[in-house]
Structure 1
Amino acid sequence: MTEPLLRVLARMRSYVLDPDVLVRAVASGRQKGTEPRWRRVELRYVDLKAGRHLQVTAYDATQAHTSNHPAGSDAAREAVDALLDEPFANWHVDTTTQQHQVRVTKRLEAVVHTTDREAEVEAERGHDRDKDRLLAPDDPVLRALGIADAQGRVKPSRQAKYRQVEEFCRLLDAAVTDALEKGHLRRPTTDEPLRIVDLGCGNAYLTFAAHRFLTHVRGLPVHLVGVDVKEQSREHNSGVATTLGVADEVEFVVGTIAAAQPPERPEVVLALHACDTATDEALARAVEWDASLVLAAPCCHHDVAAQLRKAPTPAPYQALTRHGILRERFADTLTDGLRASLLRLSGYRVEVVQFVESQHTPRNTLLRAVRTGSPVKGGGARKEYDELVATWSIRPRLAELLEASGRR
Structure 2
Amino acid sequence: MTEIPQRGMARTARLARLPLGVAGRATLGIGKRLTGQSAEDVQAELAQRTAEQLFTVLGQLKGGAMKFGQALSVFEAALPEESAAPYREALTKLQEAAPPMPPEVMHRVLDEQFGTSWRSRFTSFEDLPAAAASIGQVHRGVWTDGREVAVKIQYPGAGPALMADFNQLSRFAKLFGRIFPGLDVKPLLTELKDRVSEELDYTLEAEAQRQFSAAYDGDPEIVAPRVVASAPKVIVSEWLEGTPLSKIIATGTQDQRNRAGCLLALLHFSAPQRAGLLHADPHPGNFRLLDDGRLGVLDFGAMARLPTGAPEPLGRLTRLVLEGKTDAVITEMQEERFIRKGMEIDGDRVMDYLRPILEPLAEAEFTFTRDWMREQAQRIADPRNEAARVGRMLNLPPEYLLLHRVTLGSIGVLCQLGARAPYREIAERWQPGFAA
Using the size of structure 1 for normalisation, the TM-score is 0.27
- Choose between structure 1 and 2: higher helix proportion: 2
Using the size of structure 2 for normalisation, the TM-score is 0.26
Question: Relative contact order, CA 8 A, sep 6+: which one is greater?
Answer: 2
- Choose between structure 1 and 2: higher strand proportion: 1
